[in-house]
A and B are shown apart, each in its own frame.
Chain A
Amino acid sequence: MQGNDACAEGAMAAGCRFFAGYPITPSSEVAEQMARRLPKVGGTFIQMEDEIASMAAIIGGAWTGVRSMTATSGPGFSLMMENIGYAAFTETPCVVINIQRGGPSTGQPTMAAQGDMLQARFGSHGDYSVIALAPSTVQEMFDLTVKAFNLADRFRVPAFLMSDEIIGHLRERVEFPDEVECIPPKPIKEGMLPFEPEDDLVPGFTPFGRGHRVHVTGLTHNEKGYPASTDPDLHEKLVVRLVEKVERARHEIADYDVVNPEAEIVFISYGAPTRAVRQALLDAPGKTYGHLNLRIVWPFPEGLLKKFPNARVFLVPEMNLGQIAREIQRHVDQPVIPIPRLGGELHIPSYLLKSAGEQE
């Protein structure tokens, strides 16, 4: 099965019943598959006029209590940014699939890239936090889509599946479990307000029409949800909470593989380049290179870097000019060397070994 189809199957298994989107290469198969599948189970597929409207529609869908998703790439992801900020500020659980292609602008529609990794974290204005997952197999296109829904619901945030054209269009064997774990958002507790956080900093979520009066606004709001946009203390407290509710869980939700923790030269990767690193390690059985593969990139779990106590240098192959390498460098004293590959093709394993050899 193709990666994009496995993503759609993951969404169906996770109980997604509303999809609004605008088709764009190389993500369109996700929408096509959702359009085929949703009507058969009483769900709704709607093709919107553009990606701005698509993002707005899934926010509305989520507030009706239905797991909601869209899928896009490149320019479409840019158009969604305004409403992604709205989703973050209104604490709306939703899932955005981004099958990354070469940018900027319309760039390389049919080629792979990982150029939207910082945009996923910081692309809308203001401070907020989100969750971003990165699959490197077709199986993970399924598994991590399910996980994205659960994390979006738990933290009341937009969750992004940051895949790319390589994995989206790759066909390999995938196994679907009989059922997947679906954890709905916790409801508002008795006596609590719609935007009043519990101990985990996340307010309970009760959709429209389920017994609570909820006002949803993109303006700075109090715990009732009413606008209160000129109160400096309230604004600061709210924004800090929105960032903290995600960031402080970064190690608890971290999802990763560690290989050769004793190594001095350590690769760090996520998404498609993980496949190139794994091949490089197989091709050089005499070498002990470390490898950290991240399945959740945001919030960035910097504590994992300490799992390589002997690390002298971190090598970071990415299909961009070093977006996550920059984040890693923030947390370590050792040199962090980006291994960028632009143009749409995956890193060649022998090139990774050459890069590692230069550090010996």
Chain B
Amino acid sequence: MKYDVLFSGFGGQGIILSAVVLGRAAAMYDGKYAVQSQSYGPEARGGASSSTVIISDDPIQYPKVLQPNLYVIMSEAGFLKFGAGAPESALMLIDTGLVQSRPQCRFMEIPATKQAKEVLGKPIVANIVMLGALVSSTGIVSFEAMEKAVLDSVPKGTEELNIRALNLGRDIVNKGENS
């Protein structure tokens, strides 16, 4: 199985970190191959940011994502720039509070920023909520591998908050599936 994942949002949301954490979970803790790269430019906080990660059971030669099959979209500008042309076979996770448009492909509405703010009091961990939702809805990596990768990647003192954010994302997906 090969996943070509694209994350997009605005600078400052942790879009690049999300891809790094996902790649780390796959490569370091799930025994898979992963390569991560990002659109890299002079954009500062607030600009449309994107990053990609390829996850595969086999070695990865071409390091760039030409056609994503999995999208995590966390801003309307990011949707318009990177998500609007998603093929019908793709799956898109959308942060509902921040993205108004909806794609042609299958999508899941994840109120990540809203819930991060209301439940955890910290909208800054919305990207980790999205990762929790991504793992729970796709099984792209194991939840345990994702937990370890998150713990590796977040600043000291925020471990508990981030694990709660990861669990929150999982719960949003599970509740959605039950109802």
Taking residues whose C-beta sits less than 8 angstroms from the other chain, chain B's interface range is 10 to 19
Q: Which residues of chain B from 65 to 123 have any CB-CB distance to chain A below 8 Å in the complex? A: 66
The answer to whether residues A275 and B63 also contact, given A170-B35, A172-B34, A173-B27 and a CB cut-off of 8 A, is yes
* A110 adjacent to B36 (CB under 8 Å): no
Cα separation A171 to B53 with both chains bound (whole Å): 9
Contacts of A109 in B (CB 8 A): 42
Complex: chain A residue closest to B62, CB-CB:
A279
Residue pair B63, A172 in contact (C-beta under 8 Å) = yes
- Compute how far the CA of A169 lies from the CA of B33 in the bound complex, rounded to whole angstroms: 17
A26 lies within 8 A of chain B by Cβ? yes
Q: Which of B22-39 contact A (CB under 8 A)?
A: 23, 27-28, 33-38
Q: A165 in the interface, Cβ–Cβ < 8 Å?
A: yes
A278 at the interface (CB under 8 A from B): yes
- At the interface, is chain A mostly helix, strand, loop or mixed? mixed
**Known interface pairs A110-B40, A110-B42, A166-B37. Does A171 touch B61 (Cβ–Cβ under 8 Å)?**
no
Q: Is the CB of A279 within 8 A of B61?
A: yes
Say which residue of A110, A282, A348 sits within 8 Å of B61 (CB atoms).
Answer: A282
For A275, the chain B residues whose CB sits under 8 A away are 61-63
- The CA-CA distance from A272 to B61 in the complex, in Å, is 10
> Given A279-B61, A346-B64, does the pair A172, B27 have CB atoms closer than 8 Å?
yes
Contact of A171 among B23, B40, B66 (CB under 8 A): B23
Decide yes or no whether B60 CB sits under 8 A from chain A: yes
Task: State whether A110 touches B63 (Cβ < 8 A).
Answer: no
The answer, among B36, B42, B64, for a CB contact under 8 Å with A172, is: B36
Tell me which residues across on chain B come within 8 A of A26, comparing CB atoms. 40
> How far, in Å, is B15 (CB) from chain A's closest CB?
14
- Bound together, the chains give a CA A171 to CA B60 distance in angstroms of 12
Is A276 positioned at the interface, with any CB of B under 8 Å from its CB?
yes
B41 lies within 8 A of chain A by Cβ: yes
B63: A residues at CB distance < 8 A: 166, 170, 172, 272, 275, 346
A301 in contact (CB, < 8 A): no
Check if A349 is an interface residue, CB within 8 A of chain B: yes
Tell me the complex Cα distance, A110–B38, Å: 11
Tell me which residues across on chain B come within 8 A of A276, comparing CB atoms.
62
Q: Mark A337-358, 1 if CB is under 8 A from B, else 0.
A: 0000000011011000000000
Per-residue CB contact flags for chain A residues 156-188 toward chain B (1 = under 8 Å, else 0) read 000000000110011111000000000000000
Most chain B CB neighbours (cut-off 10 Å) among A169, A172, A279: A172
Q: Is B126 an interface residue (CB 8 A)?
A: no
Tell me whether B66 and A348 are in contact (CB under 8 A): yes
Closest 10 CB pairs of A and B: A279-B62, A171-B36, A278-B61, A279-B61, A172-B35, A173-B27, A110-B40, A110-B41, A275-B61, A170-B63
A-B contact pairs, 28 of them (CB 8 A): A109-B42, A110-B40, A110-B41, A110-B42, A165-B40, A166-B64, A169-B37, A169-B38, A170-B35, A170-B36, A170-B37, A170-B63, A171-B20, A171-B34, A171-B35, A171-B37, A172-B27, A172-B34, A172-B36, A172-B60, A172-B63, A173-B27, A173-B34, A275-B62, A278-B62, A279-B61, A346-B62, A349-B62
